[in-house]
Chains A and B, each alone.
Chain A
Amino acid sequence: MPQTRRGLASWLLGGGVTASIAAFLYPVLRFMAPPLIAEATVNEVSAGKVQEFKVNAAKIVKFGSTPALLVRLGDNEWRSFSGVCTHLNCTVQYQESSRQIWCACHNGFYDLNGKVVSGPPPRPLEEFTVRVRGDEVVLSRRG
């Protein structure tokens, strides 16, 4: 407890200054925290027209805000996976020669079911369902 008037005054002053500093810092800290942007989760996207895709070739298409890999294996055979490598988030690519999915970052390989063949990826790629509606290729999330 402050014993004297002077003690009380300096206690009040110190308390006031501390309170004001806290009052400045709080908004500043809140300001620096990035706001959560409500990202609408996409469950289905149209990848394009059937004619745009060649057999034994792949294309990266946008699935919401992340890339998806769409592989056309035959006239009516399609596969699609999340394009994000399960190791450290690189974007994967389809390797026509080996018919595997390859991540260039650390030489990870997945087969055409999304399973890890070799390299550091810990989990298989998430697989999407591919449907052809008319001449449009539609990808959708499973489950």
Chain B
Amino acid sequence: MASLKGKPPLIGWLEERLAFDAIQSFVAHKRVPKHSATMWYYFGGITLFLFGIQVATGILLLLYYRPSAAEAYESVQFIVTRVEFGWLIRSIHSWSGNLMILAAFIHMFSVVFLRSYRRPREITWLSGVGLLGLALGFGFSGYLLPWNTISYFATKVGTDMAAAVPLIGPTLARFLRGGDDVGGATLTRFFGFHVAVLPALTTGLLLVHLFLVQSFGISSPPRVEEQNRASGGPAPEMPFFPNFFLRELMAWYAALAVLGMLAAIFPWELGEKADPFAPAPAGIRPEWYFLAPFYTLKLIPSHVWMFEGELLGLLGFGLLAAWWVTLPFWANDRSGGERTRLLTGTAVVLIAYLATFSALGYWK
């Protein structure tokens, strides 16, 4: 009861009933390693923050959005033209979704470069990759919801790729589309995925991810661990609260400023209403994070030897993804030996590939 002294009675009352002590002592013991790469630790938090913005703005958009082929476009048009600040809320939702995926990618690559995936954090890595996959699912399903020409045809192309998967392809494509072709049924389905299925899965996986991050604490890169061992003194670190917490808050504030600026200066366009019976216009492309595979598939000839080009491309991406997801299991040598150096090399190549092919896909 000593801690209750000198506080307003209501605070004391709440503290006692909400078990603040336990939280306080947990937070008081949490520490964050301090070294030259500490700044990369902020990106996981930024991703989480942007996810929070997505939830809030998404709920707001639900007040006016109508998920049917006849009304979807008109309802978004209504939001951006008639509802006060509607253009801003919608623009923030689109921009924040994109920035969230960017932040997640930065977070993922920093985990690779700082080797934070090492034992015992393999499952933390897997849950993180899973969350990234869900974020991409959010992006893919959300892209269709305004029901405009670009998103309509991009969804046709995207679900067509799913159809090329061996064996389960056709079933998968039918499941995604809710029929044989992209149409009103697809829209309703994607809406369900976007506002119910994916949020539910994300909440679960996010809790696992955060729980694991809390239980194992924040990892230091091997290089820093070695330096600390060599110097013999205590490892430099800072308390999570308030030092790291306030810094993270500042990072969120900065992210918010960038987001607000982008959303206000470059309001997200609505485009033209999708017409399933009109020919596809030029310039159909998916969201930027799907551009690299999209462009790669464009480059592969339709037939390579006896295989179909599309199938070959998918197979390549499948292998690449599997290799990347299982990374902690084959790059887990502690010595920082050859395999880790190989990993750093390939991660750099991967970033270069993603950057160039996304740029090519965007400009060509």
List residues of A (1-60) whose CB comes within 8 Å of B's CBs.
20, 27-28, 30-33, 35, 37
Known: A32-B60, A32-B63. A27 touches B83 (CB 8 A): no
Which residues of chain B come closer than 8 Å to A37, judged between CB atoms? 82
Q: Which of A20, A33, A35 has the most CB of B within 10 A?
A: A35
Would B82 and A31 count as touching, CB distance under 8 A?
A: no
CA distance in complex: A37, B74 (Å): 14
Give complex CA distance A53, B82 in Å: 41
Q: Is B86 an interface residue (CB 8 A)?
A: yes
Interface string of B58-94 (1 = CB under 8 A from A): 0010010000000000000000001111101100000
**Closest-CB distance, A24 to chain B (whole angstroms):** 9
Q: Which residues of A contact B84 (CB under 8 A)?
A: 27, 30-31, 33, 35
Which residues on A sit within 8 Å (CB–CB) of B86?
31
Minimum distance in angstroms from A64 CB to a CB of chain B: 20
B83 to chain A: which residues have CB within 8 Å? 31, 35
Kindly list chain B residues whose C-beta atoms are within 8 Å of the C-beta of A32: 60, 63
Query: Taking the nearest CB of chain A, how far is it from the CB of B85, in angstroms?
Result: 4
CB atoms of B82 and A30 under 8 A apart: no
Chain A residues, Cβ within 8 Å of B56: 28
Residues in B with CB closer than 8 Å to A31 are: 60, 63, 83-86, 89
Closest to A23 in B: B260
- Report the separation of the CA atoms of residues A28 and B83 in the bound assembly, to the nearest whole angstrom: 11
Docked CA distance A35–B79 (Å): 10
Q: Assess the B88–A27 pair: CB atoms within 8 A.
A: yes
Q: A28-B85, A31-B86, A31-B89 are in contact. List 11 more A-B contacts (CB 8 A).
A: A27-B84, A27-B88, A27-B89, A28-B60, A28-B89, A30-B84, A31-B63, A31-B83, A32-B60, A33-B84, A35-B84
Per CB-CB distance, the 4 closest pairs between chain A and chain B, nearest first, are A27-B85, A30-B84, A35-B82, A31-B85
Q: List 25 A-B contacts (CB under 8 A).
A: A20-B253, A27-B84, A27-B85, A27-B88, A27-B89, A28-B56, A28-B60, A28-B85, A28-B89, A30-B84, A30-B85, A31-B60, A31-B63, A31-B83, A31-B84, A31-B85, A31-B86, A31-B89, A32-B60, A32-B63, A33-B84, A35-B82, A35-B83, A35-B84, A37-B82
